């Protein structure tokens, strides 16, 4: 009896280990396979955080699944009629304290990482950011570059320079989201909200509205380009003054 209980416990631990390994594998593969190509410092941080949190979650989820599977295999009543009473266990201080301690440690770790990442996102204020004014209205985005006369419905950004977006709306609340940059903020009427990011990869990226804004919400998007600083200045000077 005692040995079979020990044996079944061993199978529980093995299930736990195997499921954890599967979870870690998924954590390493899924985000990189499915998340949009990271094109800014914030997007890289987002990707790292995603993978790290998934790896932390793997043993917790696997532990619960291994426990549930163990119950299904070894503690299911297979006879007919009402099952006989089981051992009347009410508490286990050891189990309870270790469970709460483990979950508290994980929570604190996740919190410290998250607060650190938040500070990194907020703290990186360069002295000379490029300012872009973003205006949302039903159902288009417009971008203007203070100090120039450029007003565009495409967003051009130079590589490796911090950008400060000052976002507002002309009508309802919109959600300004740079899909490949990992940052977003609402565009509210009569209010200016700001976000920062530093694009660090050349290429095309998407700008979307992620706050429900009415009839054509699904089609409120724009195209963005990260270009070299030289190309950026020549693009700026090539624009007709519309303002």
Partner 1 sequence: MTTTLEHATTMAQPKGGGLARHQNFATAIVAGVVLAWVGWFLGRHLFWNGSDNWSDQVTILTLLGWMLGFWIGIGAFNAPFQWLLGRDNTRADNLYYAGDKQGRMRYWKFTTDHKVVGVQYIIVTMGLLAVGGILAMAIRTELITPGTHFVNQQVYNSFIAIHGMVMILALIVAVAGPWGNFVMPIMIGARDMAFPRLNALSLWTLVSAATVLVGTLAVGGLPVGWVVLGTIANQAGPGMDFFAVAIVIFTVSTTVASVNLITTVITMRTRGMTLDRLPIFVWGTIITAALALYAFPFFFVAEANQIFDRTASTSFYVAAGGGTSWLQANLFWLMGHPEVYVILIPAVAALFEISSTMARKPVFSYRTAVGAMVVLAGLSAVVWAHHMFTAGWAPSLSGPFMVTTELISIPTGIFFLVLVGTLWRGNVWMKLPTVWMFGFIFNFIVGGVTGIYLSDVPLDEQLHGTMFVTAHFHYIFVGSVLFGAIAALAYWFPKVSGRYLNEFLGRLSFWLVFSGVQLTFGAMFLSGLKGMPRRDASYSFAFEHTNFISTIGAYMIMSGMLVLLGAVITSWRSGEPSGPNPWRANTLEWQVPTPPPLENFDVLPVITEDPYHFDETTVNA
Question: Cα(219)–Cα(142) distance, rounded to whole angstroms?
Answer: 15
Nearer to partner 1, 135 or 211 (CB): 211
Question: Cα(187)–Cα(220) distance, rounded to whole angstroms?
Answer: 13
Q: How far is the CB of 141 from partner 1 (least distance, A)?
A: 14
- Token pair in block for residue 3: 């040995």
Q: How far is the CB of 120 from partner 1 (least distance, A)?
A: 8
Nearest to residue 135, comparing CAs of 126, 144, 127? 144
Nearer to partner 1, 17 or 111 (CB): 111
Q: What is the DSSP letter of 87?
A: P
Question: Cα(77)–Cα(80) distance, rounded to whole angstroms?
Answer: 8
Nearer to partner 1, 155 or 208 (CB): 208
Q: How far is the CB of 236 from partner 1 (least distance, A)?
A: 27
Q: Dihedral sign, CA of 21, 24, 30, 32?
A: negative
Q: For residue 104, give the H/E element and its range.
A: helix 93-123
Q: How far is the CB of 123 from partner 1 (least distance, A)?
A: 12
Q: What is the dihedral of CA 175, 176, 181, 182, to 10 degrees?
A: -20
Q: How far is the CB of 147 from partner 1 (least distance, A)?
A: 24
Nearer to partner 1, 36 or 129 (CB): 36
Nearer to partner 1, 53 or 225 (CB): 53
Question: Cα(163)–Cα(157) distance, rounded to whole angstroms?
Answer: 8
Q: How far is the CB of 107 from partner 1 (least distance, A)?
A: 5
Nearer to partner 1, 75 or 242 (CB): 75
Round to the nearest angstrom and report the end-to-end CA distance of the chain: 85
């Amino acid at each position: 009896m005692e040995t079979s209980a020990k044996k079944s416990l061993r199978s529980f631990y093995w299930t736990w280990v195997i499921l954890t390994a599967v979870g870690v594998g998924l954590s390493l593969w899924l985000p990189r396979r499915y998340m949009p190509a990271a094109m800014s410092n914030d997007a890289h941080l987002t990707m790292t955080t995603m993978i790290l949190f998934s790896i932390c979650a793997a043993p917790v989820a696997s532990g619960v699944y291994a426990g549930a599977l163990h119950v299904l295999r070894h503690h299911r009543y297979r006879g007919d009629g009402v099952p006989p009473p089981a051992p009347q266990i009410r508490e286990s201080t050891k189990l309870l304290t270790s469970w709460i301690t483990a979950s508290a440690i994980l929570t604190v770790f996740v919190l410290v990482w998250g607060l650190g990442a938040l500070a990194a996102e907020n703290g990186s204020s360069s002295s000379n950011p490029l300012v872009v004014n973003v205006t949302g209205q039903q159902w288009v985005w417009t971008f203007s570059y203070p100090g120039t006369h450029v007003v565009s419905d495409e967003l051009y950004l130079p590589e490796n320079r911090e950008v400060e977006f000052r976002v507002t709306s002309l009508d309802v609340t919109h959600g300004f989201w740079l899909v490949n940059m990992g940052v977003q903020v609402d565009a509210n009427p009569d209010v200016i909200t700001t976000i920062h990011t530093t694009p660090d990869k050349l290429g095309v990226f998407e700008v979307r509205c992620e706050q429900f804004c009415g009839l054509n919400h699904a089609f409120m998007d724009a195209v963005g380009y990260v270009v070299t600083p030289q190309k950026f200045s020549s693009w700026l000077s090539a624009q007709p003054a519309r303002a």
